[in-house]
Amino acid sequence: MGKKNAFPILIEGLKKMEYRGYDSAGICVGHNNDLMLAKKKGRVVELEKDFLNEYGVCSLDGSCEKRYELKEIKGGMGIAHTRWATHGEPNETNAHPHFDCKKEIAVVHNGIIENYNALKEILEKEGHIFVSKTDTEVISHLVEKFYQGNIEEAAIKAIKLIEGTFGLAIICKKENKIIVARRGSPVVLGVGENENIVASDVVAILPHTKRVIYLNDNEMAVLMQDGYAVKNLDGQNVEKNIEEIKWAAEEIEKGGYKHFMLKEIFEQPKAVENTLRGRIDEDNNVKLSLDIDFSNLKRIIIAACGTSWHSALIGKYLIEKSANLPVEVDYASEFRYRNPIVGPDDLLLVISQSGETADVLAALREAKQKGAKTLGIINVVGSTIAREVDSGIYLHAGPEIGVASTKAFSCQVTALLLLALFLAQKRGVKIDKEIFVELKNLPKKIEETLKNSDKIILLADKFKDAKNFLYLGRGMNFPVALEGALKLKEISYIHAEGYPAAEMKHGPIALVDSNMPVVFVATKDNTYSKILSNMEEIRARGGQIIAITNEVSQDIQRLSQNIIAVPRCAEELSPIINTIPLQILAYHIADKKNLDVDKPKNLAKSVTVE
């Protein structure tokens, strides 16, 4: 909202936000008491192409009732959305923004309106005509119902009736204002010079201003040509602090790499260095400023999703081993709906790159409500989860844009090891000081590991047409097997399964034949000899073994023609070192298949719906 033409700002903003959802996109710009709209199934570039190349015009409501030359689109007020479908298939009609009957009010929305069916029924009885299958459209019609010349009042009345989660923005062609509101889905307000920009992630705001206000649940903001106001949902003003984003604008660019994922893989030495920075002092004490009383702590429960859940599994090994404290790990979505038994003697640790994953947030709130202490390991500063935990450890990994998480994983495991050592200190458990030497060398070892890239590219070529992959590991490297399999399936669409190496005898071995590549994480630890036996078992059934190892022994050479050698390191760090080749392998297989590595189908970077 401002004096500049909103259209190019919105297109660029959508491109930055696209990793959050990319099945369809839409824009609506208000100008001269009219709303100009364009929607398109597919990526933002498709939408942009329509505007810029093919037609050079945009149409009202996609129905070409009135067409505008591109040069005519000059409005300083606009909203835009890139969608990850929840209700209604991805198509042009279901793409946001959604209109009221008179096409005077437009709405974009993240989240889920849980009572949309009931509201829709009422509105339809009152004569409202719905065109899409989305839950969002009820908001436009509700606002229309209450609109009597004041969009802010109408929005408040509508919001009071909706149940569920929302991060939304509303415009009305008769007023020069944008109304935004949040409950459960992130909304950040960027405060610029003579302009204010709202987005659900700071990455879209960063090119315009570093000064932001994070809305809390049940807050709204009104953006006007000459300012903004933050209010509660009763319309009363709320005082908010303006905070400064620390990320540099270049960090959200590809910087010469073909994909963000590749860039982020290669950023890992720096990212891990940043996670470690200032957290180990000269006397090898871990320094974490955690505002939590650990004295009567009986148990840690870790809740997370996706890749963060895999680092949580590694965290269990690390904390139990170093700090001698029991740890349970849960999928956040399962924890929340199980009526978990947690209380004041427990610490709920949530791990989330984005700090916005809805299930993790729900788990956190549930545990808090039951009196548990809460701690977060989070990357995005100022995110909802970061603001709601009692205390937290930021990763400082920089923005992660590729949908498949890479550097955040390495930093999460690093932070978990720091936490494990910190807890060991607090609990008086003896620490082998060698681990600090290893930790300080970790960025260098990651760099060394990244040098394997060329060899892995050859393996990617050899195995890119496989239909299935099996990933096996033991101990701390079992979650690495899970993560390797997840990386491959999410970006290459090859079916892959991760399994504890010994457990594969109880099922997956039935799938093994000469067409099945089996990736073994076989680095030297107390399970090394056992894992060699597991490799023999696969070999005996004709499986093609890819071995990640720091001990290129004769045995391994006999068992595998596809060896990826990694540097030796402490067992605690092996999950980080061993995951890197698996990230690179997945990346190159997907790239060789010409797939969109950064935006794999059906996925989204942060899942802000339950």
Which residues sit at the interface with ligand G6P, rule CB under 6 A?
A: 305-308, 352-354, 357, 360, 403-405, 603, 605-607
Q: How far is the CB of 389 from ligand G6P (least distance, A)?
A: 13
Q: Is 416 helix (H, G, I), strand (E, B) or coil?
A: helix
Q: How far is the CB of 360 from ligand G6P (least distance, A)?
A: 5
Q: Nearer Cβ to ligand G6P, position 442 or 607?
A: 607
d(CA 537, CA 345): 45
d(CA 318, CA 287): 17
Q: How far is the CB of 102 from ligand G6P (least distance, A)?
A: 38
Q: Nearer Cβ to ligand G6P, position 35 or 301?
A: 301
Q: What angle do CA 507, 513, 515 make, to 5 degrees?
A: 125
Positive or negative torsion for Cα 138, 139, 144, 147 = positive
Q: Nearer Cβ to ligand G6P, position 195 or 264?
A: 264
d(CA 144, CA 1): 22
Q: What single letter denotes the amino acid at residue 313? A: L
Phi and psi, residue 311, nearest 5°: -70, -30
Q: Which residue(s) pair with 546 in the sheet?
A: 519, 562
Q: How far is the CB of 378 from ligand G6P (least distance, A)?
A: 8
Q: How far is the CB of 309 from ligand G6P (least distance, A)?
A: 7
Task: Count the helix, strand and coil residues of the chain and give each as a percent rounded to the nearest 5.
Answer: 40, 25, 35
Q: Nearer Cβ to ligand G6P, position 549 or 608?
A: 608
Of the candidates 580, 548, 583, 550, which has an alpha carbon nearest to the alpha carbon of residue 567? 550
Q: Is 318 helix (H, G, I), strand (E, B) or coil?
A: helix
DSSP string, 497-530: EEEETTGGGGTGGGG-STT-EEEEE--SSTTHHH
Q: How far is the CB of 492 from ligand G6P (least distance, A)?
A: 15
Q: Nearer Cβ to ligand G6P, position 141 or 259?
A: 259
d(CA 369, CA 351): 18
Secondary structure of 20-82 as H, E, C letters = HCCCEEEEEEEECCEEEEEEEECCHHHHHHHHHHHCCEEEHHHCCCCEEEHHHCCCCEEEEEE
Q: How far is the CB of 114 from ligand G6P (least distance, A)?
A: 21
Q: Nearer Cβ to ligand G6P, position 57 or 403?
A: 403
Q: Nearer Cβ to ligand G6P, position 144 or 388?
A: 388
Q: Nearer Cβ to ligand G6P, position 208 or 407?
A: 407
Which residue's Cβ lies closest to ligand G6P? 306
Q: How far is the CB of 403 from ligand G6P (least distance, A)?
A: 5
**Is the separation of the CB atoms in 566 and 578 below 8 Å?**
yes
Q: How far is the CB of 595 from ligand G6P (least distance, A)?
A: 15
Q: How many CB atoms lie within 10 A of CB 570?
A: 18
Q: How far is the CB of 583 from ligand G6P (least distance, A)?
A: 12
Of the candidates 151, 138, 89, which has an alpha carbon nearest to the alpha carbon of residue 112? 138
Q: How far is the CB of 355 from ligand G6P (least distance, A)?
A: 7
Read off the tokens for 186. 């992130």
Q: What single letter denotes the amino acid at residue 453? A: S
Q: Nearer Cβ to ligand G6P, position 421 or 482?
A: 482
Q: Nearer Cβ to ligand G6P, position 352 or 562?
A: 352
Non-local (6+) Cβ contacts of 456 within 8 A are 564, 581, 584, 585, 588
Please report which helix (H) or strand (E) contains residue 10, including its range. Answer: helix 6-17
Q: Nearer Cβ to ligand G6P, position 280 or 607?
A: 607
Q: What single letter denotes the amino acid at residue 220? A: M
d(CA 596, CA 429): 47
Q: How far is the CB of 411 from ligand G6P (least distance, A)?
A: 11
Q: Nearer Cβ to ligand G6P, position 561 or 602?
A: 602
**Is the separation of the CB atoms in 452 and 579 below 8 Å?**
no
Q: Nearer Cβ to ligand G6P, position 77 or 305?
A: 305
Q: How far is the CB of 357 from ligand G6P (least distance, A)?
A: 3
Beta strand pairing call for 105-110 and 57-59: unpaired
Q: Nearer Cβ to ligand G6P, position 30 or 186?
A: 186
Q: How far is the CB of 328 from ligand G6P (least distance, A)?
A: 18
d(CA 361, CA 386): 10
**Is the separation of the CB atoms in 509 and 534 below 8 Å?**
no
Q: How far is the CB of 162 from ligand G6P (least distance, A)?
A: 25
Of the candidates 418, 415, 379, which has an alpha carbon nearest to the alpha carbon of residue 396? 379
Q: Nearer Cβ to ligand G6P, position 353 or 452?
A: 353
Non-local (6+) Cβ contacts of 447 within 8 A are 269
Non-local (6+) Cβ contacts of 19 within 8 A are 260, 401, 402, 403, 598, 599, 604, 605
- Within 131-165, strands assigned E span none
